Structure 1
C-alpha cells in the first residue's frame, strides 16, 4: 500500500489473515487516543460526533484499500467495527487447528537458538489465547523439558531439578548458558590448542629453547615462580633449574 509508511501498524488485509492482531492494535491505539468508546456498545455517556469521525478516520486508514472501498458508505465507527467482526471473526475457528498443530509438534531441539524457540512459543501461545485457549506455565516448562535433544538427557534432568515455576526464568537460564557456550567456542577457535601469545617471551626466558616448559599445559604462564626443593627445604629460582637442565643437555 502506498501509505504504509504513515501507518501506526499493519493494515487489515483483504483476506483477514491478520485480523486478530489488527483488532488488538486498533483497541490499544484508540484507548491511547481516548477514542475506545467510539467502537463499543452505547453507554450512558454518549460519544461526540468529532470523536466518532476521528475514530472512523483512524480505522479506515488501517484497512486495505479494497475494504475501504467496500465499506465506503459506512459512517459510524461502531457499525464498521461490527461489520468487520462479522466478516473476519471466524478466523479464530481457522487459526485454532493450526495453533494446536504447531504446539503439538513444537520441539526445543529443532531450533538453532533459544531466542528462536522462545519467539515461536510466544507466537503459538498468543494465537491460542486469541482462540480462548490458555497454555499454563507448567505446560510451557514441560514442553521444553520433554523436547530436549536425546544427547542432552542429563542436562535436561539438571534443569528439571531446578524446579522452575516460570517459563521466563527457564528461558533466562538457557539464554545465559547459550551465551557462555558461544564465548567458550570463540575462545577455543581463536587459535589452535597449545598456541599462545607468550611464545616469544617464553623463548627469551629460556634462552631460545622451547623445550624447557614442554611438559607444562599451554594455559600455564610461569612468571616469577619459585619452587621448593622438598629434599632439603631450599628454595630455588625456576630459571636456575632451567639453566641447570640446559647445562646437563
Structure 2
C-alpha cells in the first residue's frame, strides 16, 4: 500500500496558477461537509456555530491541498477564515505585481474587472449585480 497522500482535488502550488479552480474546489468540499460559512465573512442573518472543530476541518482540507512552500508560509494561521483571506490577498497582490512588471498602468476599473472575472461560477449572479452597480455609480 502506498503512503502517498490521496488528494480530493488539485493541489494549490505557490505560483497560484490554478488558484481560482482551487478556490472553487475548496468551496465545494466545504459546502458538502456543511462548513462553508467557516471561511466566509460573518453574516449576522446566518445561524452557524463556529467551533474549533469546524475551523480545524477547514484548515486541514485547505492545507492538505497546498504545496509545501505555501503550507510553511501560512502555518501560523490557525483560523480558517484568516487563512482564506490571506491566500486571497497573496494571489491578488501577485497579479498587481505582474501587471506593474509588464509596465502596464494599473487602472482601478481594470483591477475591479479582473477581480470580477475571477469569481467562481457559483457567484456569477452576484458579480454581475456588482458590476452593474459599479458601472452605474
Range class of TM-score, shorter chain: 0.5 to 0.7
- SS of aligned partner of 2:12: coil
Aligned length: 97
The whole-number CA distance in structure 1 between the counterparts of 2:79 and 2:5 is 26
CA pair 27-4 structure 1, distance change in 2 beyond 3 A: farther
- SS of aligned partner of 1:6: coil
What is the CA-CA distance between 1:47 and the residue it aligns to?
1.3
Task: Say whether 1:86 aligns with 2:73.
Answer: no
CA pair 92-25 structure 1, distance change in 2 beyond 3 A: farther
- Mapping 1:4-19, distance limit 5 Å: 6-19=6-19
Q: Between Structure 1 and Structure 2, whose CA radius of gyration is higher? A: 1
What is the CA-CA distance between 1:4 and the residue it aligns to?
6.4
More relative contact order, 1 or 2 (CA 8 Å, 6+ apart): 2
TM-score (norm 1): 0.35
* Root mean square deviation, CA, Å: 2.5
Cα deviation code 1:119-150 (max 9, x no counterpart): xxxxxxxxxx8447xxxxxxxxxxxxxxxxxx
What is the CA-CA distance between 1:71 and the residue it aligns to?
0.8
Q: Which runs of 4+ in 1 moved over 4 A?
A: 2-5, 90-94
Q: What residue is the counterpart of 1:34 in the other structure?
A: 34
What is the CA-CA distance between 1:68 and the residue it aligns to?
0.5
The whole-number CA distance in structure 1 between the counterparts of 2:18 and 2:28 is 16
Q: What residue is the counterpart of 1:59 in the other structure?
A: 62
Which sections of structure 1, spanning at least 5 residues, go unmatched?
Answer: 95-128, 133-249
The whole-number CA distance in structure 2 between the counterparts of 1:83 and 1:54 is 18
CA pair 21-39 structure 1, distance change in 2 beyond 3 A: same
Which sections of structure 2, spanning at least 5 residues, go unmatched?
Answer: 99-115, 120-137
The question of whether the paired residues in 1 share the 8 Å contact of 2:38 and 2:80 is answered with yes
What is the CA-CA distance between 1:35 and the residue it aligns to?
1.2
The whole-number CA distance in structure 1 between the counterparts of 2:71 and 2:13 is 11
The whole-number CA distance in structure 2 between the counterparts of 1:71 and 1:30 is 19
CA pair 23-8 structure 1, distance change in 2 beyond 3 A: same
- Mapping 1:111-130, distance limit 5 Å: 130=117
The question of whether the paired residues in 2 share the 8 Å contact of 1:14 and 1:66 is answered with yes
The question of whether the paired residues in 2 share the 8 Å contact of 1:52 and 1:76 is answered with yes
